[in-house]
Structure 1
Amino acid sequence: MAEIIRDDAQALKKATELAAEFRTGASRRDRERLLPREELEKLSASGLLAVTVPAAHGGADVRALTLARVFRVLASADASLAQIPQSHFAYVNVIRRQGTAAQQDFFYGELLAGKRFGNAQSEAGTRHVQDLRTRLEPQPDGSYVLTGVKNYATGALFADWIPVLALGAEDKPYVAFVEAGAPGVTVIDDWDGMGQRTTASGTVRLDGVRVAADRVFAHHLTFEGPQLHGAHAQLLHAAIDAGIAAGALAEAAEFVRTKSRPWFESGFETAAEDPLLVQRFGELDLRVRASDALLDTAARAVDTARATLTDETAADASLAVAAAKAYAADAAVEVAGALFEVAGTRSALDSLNLHRHWRDARTHTLHDPVRWKIQHLGRHALQGTRPPRHGLL
């Protein structure tokens, strides 16, 4: 059984403790592509994966602000490990928004017991990211049959339950929760990305998988009114980027303090005293601080909208999250790249694996294009246009 986390402060304390533990092996796991099964078991046992379960069902129901900070601190230690449960929390929100009382009772119980949700959402070879081919076909007995192939299925290899996004009645999107070991479910560890190497974001094949009616959620209803599904999911992506930037800056500073030699023209005994390096670290620190500030602002906007959900508060939350994600994505890539600029030639040694921060940043920030977030910000600033309702904003 998992520990039960009771409040926001306990969640943050537990995340900080785990991050310190996970940081020590992060480089080796990345270098040797050692999947973090033991670390994920500890994450499950800690109770952190159930912190958004409503209080009425025995959970802490933490604020979005707290959850974002949890992801930020975990990502500063190991960006791959932090990425794995991102979809987990997105699908907890599906249960919260569209689940019946019986569905909520069952799945909240699973979460409190430490069970993990994966993800089978994206598909390769389609016209665009929301062009789905996976089908959920109704059967005479009220159950369904699920058939399709999913790619980039982060978390599926480690999951107890795999939420599958599929087209159902009237070609509308539904989410079907299938057990990881169910007949017809095959999870393939074929992820070979240059970064986030240990997320195991591979392929899920679904060959005539039977799904009970009470495991299916009408996801399309989420987007028929004001919603926070996209803002909440994107907030966690922004937190991962902010964490990567913070982790890269901390490692750069440690390297310069302990391993770098001063440039001979500086006249100083240590590299850390070089005013040009001090200047650059100050600039990078500003980037990290701004990422954190925008992340907190966005999380508070999500919390405000959760308390009073209207078209206006939902739009405010989506725009605040878009700003945080756009800024943090750029900051993560810049700071992780600047690590080499400030640390010097030795930092490029492959054996040190300092490039994992840049590889993680560059890979994760490709998740969805920043340029479209900026488009929505610009349209709102110039024309007052609210952002569209979809799961990527």
Structure 2
Amino acid sequence: MTAHIISSDSEANSIAEELRQFLVAGASERDQKPEPPAAELDRLSASGILAITVPREFGGADVSFETITNVFQRLSAGDPAVTQMTQSHFLFLDAIRQDGTQEQKAFFFGQVLAGARLGNAQAEKGSASALDLQTKLTQGDSGNYRLNGTKYYCTGAILADWLPVAAFDPEERLVLALVPRKEHGVIVSSDWNAMGQRVTFSGTTTFENVAVPENHVIPHWRLFDRPSVFHAYASQLHTAIDIGIAQNALSDAVALVRARGRPRLGAPVSKATEDPHVILRFGQLSAKFHAAEQLLLRAARLLDRATADLTIELAGEAAVAVAEAKAFSEDVVIEITNEIFALSGASATDNALNLSRHWRNARTHTVHDANQWRYHSAGNYLLNGVLPGKPIRKKAAAF
């Protein structure tokens, strides 16, 4: 694949808007007839949007957190499921930037600039905690490793070129093994069957004695020994997805009410757009949506500030800001996607419109973990000055 190379933040935002319009046109149909969105992801790869965080020294635009946040919201307002397939791509590009060797950076950044995509193989089941892992790298022949394990919720894996796999090396250190999607022993299943975010195809991936060269292993454990915004960045992108869903849902609700010829029964007006209760409710939702946007923007700017002068305090403050944005955005997106139907009436439930996809997408995407803990994190910092900790993965206990 030949990919365009984006050179600036402004170009990234402009292309993201073009891609939003492209994605939104087919989002409803893809939700109703879910298949892996190969053409859509190929369009994103060819546009260069998936390489905008590559550092300048390796040929990328190296955009700010503010820009990648704006880009992610725009893409999610087009199709949040397709966009979520790229969330781990951006996150693990940052992992390579953080702890890869110069050789690894040159290779993988070069791959991405040419259009390659990184997938995701992190989560597991069956242990006492979501942070416990059983996937292992064992020593193989000629300095290579062998990878064995099973991963779940592998968003983006089915159409990725490379899979970053969280595993423990022979010294029981957390690493990322970057494995070609079509490597012998890699089995990616299309067993995703959720009510929303249907085309993420976040199914199961199994690794059976997969050969991994030593120079394809990133020492991810080092990230936990120093200040970083890596995990806050991951949440920031998820927040942008929520707000993108809310943006698209609110836009659809406005269009539907404007198109209605008559008001709800009992309203002493001639048009639905003149109903004072409808006007009030749209005003409330608009205010909440824009407040969520501003929290997202504030978090992005604090992430930029933290990376310019990376200290425990600045990284922690950015993480708290992201927690606030994510917590509030979850509440807002559920409210907006639910209120479409109350504001639009019985006609909004017509399956031909498929407006339920907004709520289904929001509800599916917002159950990654308990939202209350994000508010708790913000409150604990405000009251007690306690900065949030890092979610450290460990090897699962044997049973």
Aligned to 1:248: 249
* Distance across 2 between alignment mates of 1:88 and 1:126: 26
* Distance across 2 between alignment mates of 1:230 and 1:249: 29
Aligned to 2:36: 35
How big is each residue's C-alpha offset from its partner over 1:124-181, in whole Å with a ceiling of 9 and x where there is no partner? 2221211101111123522111000000000000100000001124422110000011
Aligned to 2:281: 280
Aligned-pair identity in percent equals 43
How big is each residue's C-alpha offset from its partner over 1:321-372, in whole Å with a ceiling of 9 and x where there is no partner? 1111111111111100011111111111222210000000000001122111
Aligned to 1:139: 140
* Distance across 2 between alignment mates of 1:391 and 1:153: 19
SS at match of 1:236: helix
Aligned to 1:23: 24
* Distance across 2 between alignment mates of 1:390 and 1:97: 17
* Distance across 2 between alignment mates of 1:118 and 1:199: 11
1:49-198 mapped onto 2 (5 Å cutoff): 49-198=50-199
Which amino acid is 1:357 matched to?
H
1:197-212 mapped onto 2 (5 Å cutoff): 197-212=198-213
* Distance across 2 between alignment mates of 1:338 and 1:169: 52
| Contact 1:52 1:59 (C-alpha < 8 Å) held by counterparts | yes
Aligned to 1:47: 48
1:174-323 mapped onto 2 (5 Å cutoff): 174-259=175-260, 261-323=262-324
Structure 1 runs of 4+ with >3 Å offset? none
* Distance across 2 between alignment mates of 1:261 and 1:77: 29
* Distance across 1 between alignment mates of 2:376 and 2:264: 43
Confirm whether residue 345 of structure 1 aligns to residue 346 of structure 2.
yes
| Contact 1:229 1:391 (C-alpha < 8 Å) held by counterparts | no
Pair 31,40 (structure 1): closer, same or farther in 2 beyond 3 Å = same
Larger mean CA deviation between 132-141 and 99-108 belongs to 132-141
Q: How far is 1:391 from its partner?
A: 7.2
Which amino acid is 2:199 matched to?
T
* Distance across 2 between alignment mates of 1:11 and 1:391: 33
Q: How far is 1:260 from its partner?
A: 5.8
Q: How far is 1:259 from its partner?
A: 3.1
CA RMSD of superposed structures (Å):
1.2
How big is each residue's C-alpha offset from its partner over 1:61-80, in whole Å with a ceiling of 9 and x where there is no partner? 00011001111011111110
* Distance across 2 between alignment mates of 1:166 and 1:270: 60
Aligned to 1:371: 372
| Contact 1:98 1:217 (C-alpha < 8 Å) held by counterparts | yes
Which segments of 5 or more consecutive residues in structure 1 lack a partner in the other structure?
Answer: none
Aligned to 1:4: 5
SS at match of 1:171: coil
SS at match of 1:198: helix
Q: How far is 1:316 from its partner?
A: 0.8
| Contact 2:131 2:392 (C-alpha < 8 Å) held by counterparts | no
* Distance across 2 between alignment mates of 1:274 and 1:72: 31
Aligned to 2:397: none
Larger mean CA deviation between 88-97 and 137-146 belongs to 137-146
Larger mean CA deviation between 181-190 and 264-273 belongs to 264-273
* Distance across 1 between alignment mates of 2:37 and 2:311: 40
How big is each residue's C-alpha offset from its partner over 1:8-46, in whole Å with a ceiling of 9 and x where there is no partner? 000010010011011111001001113311111000000
* Distance across 2 between alignment mates of 1:56 and 1:312: 28
Pair 140,35 (structure 1): closer, same or farther in 2 beyond 3 Å = closer
1:323-338 mapped onto 2 (5 Å cutoff): 323-338=324-339
* Distance across 1 between alignment mates of 2:86 and 2:289: 23
Aligned to 2:396: none
SS at match of 1:6: coil
* Distance across 1 between alignment mates of 2:290 and 2:237: 17
* Distance across 2 between alignment mates of 1:260 and 1:161: 51
TM-score (normalised: structure 1): 0.98
TM-score (normalised: structure 2): 0.96
SS at match of 2:198: coil
